[in-house]
Amino acid sequence: MKAWHVQDKYGEYQQIIFADKRSEAIANSEAKGWNDFIDIRAKRAKYADDLNTKPVELMQAQLENGWWFECYGSCGNHVTIDDKHSIVDGSIYCGECSGKIS
């Protein structure tokens, strides 16, 4: 399935949505609840195509394409591709918190 990078016009809220059409991606995004349709942008994210059922691979692909995530551990650190990290069941942990996962 096609992946779309959907965000509000200020880039404050971003997510990957899987849909066949751009309009479907916008309509299915959480940004739709906070913004008018006209204020939401959707660009193709070909690097994430067909990863809708593979959360670990999706997060890794996003990291490789400039995204960052907040550590799912207790520290709240930002995790980028340059940081030591681990992805477990669709949750990302920084290097420090990775050692605390049981």
The series of mean pLDDT values per 10 residues for the chain, 102 residues long, is 94 93 94 84 97 95 96 94 92 91 68
What's the N-to-C CA distance of the chain in angstroms? 33
pLDDT value at residue 37: 84
Which among 77, 87, 96, 52 is positioned nearest to 15, based on CA atoms?
A: 52
Q: In this structure, are residues 27 and 50 in contact, taking their beta carbons and an 8 Å threshold? A: no
Q: What is the pLDDT of residue 12?
A: 83
pLDDT score for 102? 61
Measured CA to CA, the distance from residue 49 to residue 17 in angstroms comes to: 10
What is the per-residue pLDDT across 78-88, written as a single tens digit (0 to 9) for each? 999 999 999 99
CA nearest neighbour of 98 among 89, 85, 80: 85
User: Which residues partner with 86 through β-bridges?
Assistant: 93
- Identify the pLDDT of residue 38: 87
Helix segments in 20-99, DSSP class H: 22-28, 55-64, 95-98
pTM of the model: 0.87
